Amino acid sequence: MKEVRIGLLGAGVVGTSLLQLLDKNREKIQRHYGINLQLTTIATRSPGKLQGKTNVPVTDDVLSVTNRSDIDMIVELIGGTDTAYQAVRSALENGKTVITANKALLSEKGRELYPIAAKTGAELGYEAAVAGSIPIIRTLRDGLSSCEFEVICGILNGTTNFILTKMEQEAWDYSTALKKAQELGFAEADPTFDVEGIDAGHKISLLASLAFREYVSFASLSVKGISDLQSLDIQSALSLGYRIKLLGISKRSSAGVLTKVHPTLVPLDHPLANVMNESNAVFYKTKEADSGMITGKGAGGMPTASAVLSDIIYYASRLGSKDIAKENNLFPEAKAFPEPDNLVRYYLRFSTVDKPGVLAEISQVLGRHNISIASVQQKESTSEPVSVIVVTHGATEGEFQKSLQEIDTMSTIIKQKTVAIRLLEKL
């Protein structure tokens, strides 16, 4: 039987779930895959916390593990880009297979790590880094490897999807929904990474790079989160037949790759509209196989640990095979499609004074920028500002930005900054 010796770095929620899973599945993995997984050592900041929970030797010296010659595979569950970076770098330099759940590390430092792996022949698995238990990395690398992708997009952050679901279903405002998410452990004390779209940005940059086999850097993305979304807009969108979702979107044409994160009005009959609570989903469109979608649990100790273990099994089966053909992960840099040229549609909520001619003035500005109106909704109101909701037809992002700048300075009719949320583009 093939023996694979593993060093585990990090023993937090995912790490301890992995310890349980490894114990439970050891015999099954031997029987089904002919692999004997040997957890050799664990490195964690607080070795004392593991006392009594495992028989495996524990250390607080990460690099002592990545440098050990009797270890074949490093599982990095530390998180962040400091110690984790040092450890993964060291492991790859030593030719060890690395399994990680660290999207920030890969999105920000992958460009440095992959050449090292290519040089030493080490492999780097990161199924658990994107969309938790959804096996989207394996799907892009193997399941759909023959396909030419045109679009990859998705609901990639469970925290924000939970908050949006609650804002809709309970008619809560953003801060109430965030507080509930924090109480339930779905959101961190400092939720910035999640709610401002940074986490989704890391993930869509990884997915886009893999789908298009061109490097899409996180730095090249435009990212907007959900922290200024109002319950009113969520309800208004719903009454118009749309559900607001925070999407990571990347699309590729001959003119380049455009990748971004923003709240999006998704038509209710689109499969992404029905992914609720903390679930994640990845939607794709390819030339050969049309469109498809994968949904599942996006986070949580056990779902993430199961993705880590699936990755361990996959790479363990390949370990030490000299004749195996390995995928080339050194992608050329993607040519960026200029966002101002992108054709989009918008939901616009103007906060106006209550006097005749307001709608005429607004639509004149839009018209001058070649933006035509698909629908207008204005409810009777007894107080200012009056909400005028416009859903537009398609125009370029650049024209939208110009027209909104213009409208928001029309102080005689506009009382508050216009709320502008994009509709799901024709994908």
Binding residues for L-homoserine: 188
Task: Summarize the annotated binding site for NADPH as residue ranges.
Answer: 103
Nearer to a copy of itself by C-beta: 133 or 352? 133
Residue 53 binds to a copy of itself (criterion: CB under 8 A): no
Whether omega before 356 lies within 30 degrees of 0, making that bond cis, reads no
Tell me the angle at which helices 198-212 and 103-120 cross, rounded to the nearest 10 degrees.
30
What is the closest distance, in whole angstroms, from the C-beta atom of residue 309 to a copy of itself in the complex? 4
Could you identify the residue written with the tokens 């349980």? 20
Using alpha carbons, select from 412, 255, 279, 419 the residue that is nearest to residue 338. Answer: 255
- Nearer to a copy of itself among residue 158 and residue 197 (C-beta): 158
The one among 11, 65, 134, 413 contacting a copy of itself by CB under 8 A: 134
Please report whether residue 142 would count as binding a copy of itself according to CB under 8 A. yes
Q: How far is the CB of 276 from a copy of itself (least distance, A)?
A: 9
- How many residues touch a copy of itself (CB under 8 A)? 59
Q: If 0-12 CB within 10 Å is exposed, 13-18 middle and 19+ buried, where does residue 357 land? A: exposed
How long is the chain?
Answer: 427
Q: Given 96, 203, 245, 297, which residue is catalytic?
A: 203
CB 218 within 8 A of CB 205: yes
| Residue number, 132 or 197, with CB nearest to a copy of itself | 132
Q: By CB under 8 A, is residue 326 in contact with a copy of itself?
A: yes
CB 391 within 8 A of CB 374: yes
Restricting to residues 187-216, name those near a copy of itself by CB under 8 A: 213
The correct pick among 79, 95, 241, 292 for binding a copy of itself (CB under 8 A) is: 292
* Alpha carbons 142 and 149: distance in angstroms, whole number: 14
Establish whether 297 is a catalytic residue: no
Element (H, E) at 285: strand 279-286
Give the C-alpha separation, 237 to 241, whole Å: 6
Contact partners, residue 285, CB within 8 Å, separation at least 6 = 149, 150, 151, 152, 291, 427
Q: Is 102 in the site for a copy of itself (CB under 8 A)?
A: no
Contacts with a copy of itself in 263-282 (CB under 8 A)? 269, 271, 274
Binding of a copy of itself at residue 288 (CB under 8 A)?
A: yes
For Cα atoms 26, 29, 34, give the angle at the middle one, nearest 5 degrees.
120
Q: How far, in Å, CA of 386 to CA of 352, rounded?
A: 5
Nearer to a copy of itself, 47 or 241 (CB): 241
Strands 414-423 and 256-267, sheet pairing: parallel
Instruction: For residue 421, give the nearest of 404, 402, 409 by alpha carbon.
Output: 404
Q: How far is the CB of 193 from a copy of itself (least distance, A)?
A: 23
Q: Binding to a copy of itself by residue 305, rule CB under 8 A?
A: yes
Question: Could you say whether residue 91 binds a copy of itself (CB under 8 A)?
Answer: no
- Which of 48, 55, 219, 322 touches a copy of itself by CB under 8 A? 322
Q: Does 409 bind a copy of itself (CB under 8 A)?
A: no
* Given 146, 382, 383, 411, the residue binding a copy of itself (CB under 8 A): 146
Under the binding rule (CB under 8 A), the answer on residue 422 touching a copy of itself is no
Residue 325 engages a copy of itself in binding (rule: CB under 8 A): yes
DSSP label of 171: -
d(CA 137, CA 226): 26
CA distance 274 to 175: 23
- Which of residues 21, 65, 187, 421 is near a copy of itself by CB under 8 A? 21
Answer whether 170's CB lies under 8 Å from 177's CB.
yes
Interface residue with a copy of itself among 327, 333, 341, 354 (CB under 8 A) is 327
Q: One symbol per residue from 221 to 260: x for binding a copy of itself (CB under 8 A), - otherwise; what is it? A: ----------------------------------------
| 34 contributes a contact to a copy of itself by CB under 8 A | yes
Placement of tokens 């009594």 in the chain: 52
Q: Would you say the C-alpha torsion 231, 236, 239, 242 has a positive or negative sign? A: negative
In the bound state with a copy of itself, the residue whose beta carbon lies nearer, of 179 and 326, is 326
- Pairing of β 2-9 and β 73-76: parallel
Give residues in contact with a copy of itself (CB under 8 A). Answer: 2, 21, 25, 31-35, 127, 132-135, 138-139, 142-147, 213, 269, 271, 274, 286, 288-297, 302-303, 305-307, 309-310, 312-314, 316-328
Q: Among all residues, which ones are annotated catalytic?
A: 203
